[in-house]
Amino acid sequence: MIEIMKADLQRIFRGKGVYITFSLFVGFVLLTIFEAGHIGFIIEIDTLSSHSDIAISGFLLTGKEMAFYQMRNTDNILYFILPFIIFIAGADFSSGTAKNMLTSGTSRVTFYLAKLLLAIGCSTFIYCFYLVIPTVFVTVRNGFGGSLNGEFFFSLIRPFLLQWLLILAVTSVGIFLVFTTKKVATVNSGYLAFLLVPTLIIMILSGYNEKFINLINYDLVYNMRTLGYFSELSSKDITTSLLMGMGYILVSTVGGLLIFRKSEVK
């Protein structure tokens, strides 16, 4: 499995697509830094312990605040994960190379898990890059805004891990789509629909009946966003996010493997 992952990593770096996507992503990260401070947006900052809203303008964010600001907008990076899923797994079905692997004794489970783990590795890198680079950049410019004490790490690591879990869940769903549909166009539309449509449907339904708004608690993207406001979340909210993340990973991976094990490969 590790050989497939290494070979795939080497392969995707031999193509232009990964560089183009990563350049766009870096541009996006730089834009978030610029947006968070330079333009002078009025931003509600929820710092570690304070629930007070602080209106700021100008480049006033500290590194600590920047980390939380980024976490509130993590759902944006989900769109950058999609190309990596396509490079890693979709390419094997669009080019037909999946059959080369499967006819040479590689088990379908190994093939699936190798692609999933590499995609997870890439999405983890993207997530860390998205959080760390702006935080470091702003810290260098404006200072960290406090001490790097245990309390900070504890309050940062918990939402970080939960958001990471949800990112892994979305990645798992992406890989599930690749291995069950085997068509890049369907994966693209299915993935985007998975990110956008549930929120939209809940909003429309809640227009008819307010009770439907409670469904938003089970929307993966919404959950990801709210984790940026971690200190305001109840333990029930946190548990819901945790279970949702694990549930999506489990269902999409087990389901994907069961379907792929019995499906025909063109």
Query: What are the residues binding other proteins (CB under 8 A)?
Result: 3-4, 6-7, 10-11, 14-16, 91, 95-97, 99-107, 262, 264-266
Nearer to other proteins, 87 or 130 (CB): 87
Residue 20 C-beta: closest distance to other proteins, Å: 12
Residue 116 C-beta: closest distance to other proteins, Å: 16
Are the C-beta atoms of residues 186 and 177 closer than 8 Å to each other?
yes
Nearer to other proteins, 91 or 169 (CB): 91
Q: Which residue has the tokens 């935080």?
A: 135
Q: How many CB atoms lie within 10 A of CB 12?
A: 20
Nearer to other proteins, 13 or 34 (CB): 13
Residue 185: C-alpha distances to residues 86, 134, 177, 254 (Å): 10, 33, 11, 23
Residue 22 C-beta: closest distance to other proteins, Å: 16
Nearer to other proteins, 106 or 217 (CB): 106
Integer Cα distance of 97 and 72 in angstroms: 39
How open is the CA angle 176-29-19, to the nearest 5 degrees? 65
Residue 75: C-alpha distances to residues 167, 221, 223, 266 (Å): 9, 6, 9, 34
Residue 10 C-beta: closest distance to other proteins, Å: 7
**Closest listed residue to residue 155, CA positions, set 244, 61, 229:** 229
Residue 251 C-beta: closest distance to other proteins, Å: 24
Nearer to other proteins, 119 or 202 (CB): 119
